[in-house]
Amino acid sequence: AIHGDMSQSKRNSVMRQFRGGELAVLIASDLASRGIDVEGITHVVNYDLPEDPDVYVHRIGRTARAGRDGVAWSFVTPRQGKLLTQIENLVNAQIPKLDYPDFEASPRPDGYREETPGGHTIYEVQGVGEAPRNRLAESERPDMPKDKGIAADPSKFPGGIVPTKLPPNRIRGRLRTGR
């Protein structure tokens, strides 16, 4: 796997292994997948649709270089229907769909928290006179550390604003807007 938080030397090493045939599958984030040009990519699987239709076209274009055929599969939720329509309009083609009417999602794991559609709350401003809250400890996300009995120190953050979530994803330096 490659992602934007890896050092360039590590990404280069993984890409050498992939190009050399030592790796049969490469998993890449949007950021890290930019500029990948490898002969013989036949399949791209999109676990999630990117919010920008141009990024989708760029991503699946890995499979059909220089007139070759390729296959792209995408997992699409009902909430992403409008986005899929935008992609179809951009490529001027209807993307074949397979529905699974008998599919039932498994129960959500303990601690699952729904992201708010249309934007992310990055921080909340504390009221005057309130004691600092350790919002990090209140987080239910598995990738966020749990409280170790130490409160977040607002003086360590710009303007005393303690972040409560990871920053939103960015594409080409711009915030994703969902539009």
CA–CA dist 67, 75 (Å, integer): 25
Q: What is the pLDDT of residues 106-118, one digit of tens each?
A: 787 776 666 555 5
pLDDT of residue 126: 42
Report the predicted TM-score, pTM, of the whole model to 2 decimal places. 0.52
Strands 71-74 and 43-46: parallel
Q: pLDDT above 90 covers what percent of the chain?
A: 3
Backbone angles phi, psi at 74, to 5 degrees: -135, 135
Average pLDDT over the chain, rounded to whole?
Answer: 72
83 vs 146, higher pLDDT: 83
Return the domain boundaries, the chain. Answer: 8-91, 110-166
Q: What is the pLDDT of residues 142-179, one digit of tens each?
A: 444 455 555 666 666 666 676 666 666 555 555 555 54
pLDDT of residue 120: 47
47 vs 116, higher pLDDT: 47
- Whether 78 has a pLDDT exceeding 70, the answer reads yes
Instruction: List all residues 6 or more positions away from 115 whose beta carbon is below 8 Å from its beta carbon.
Output: none
CATH tag for 8-91 (out of 3.40.50.300, 1.10.287.3510, 2.70.70.10, 1.10.10.10): 3.40.50.300
Handedness of CA 164, 106, 48, 102 (dihedral sign): negative
- Secondary structure (3-state) at 171: strand
pLDDT of residue 159: 67
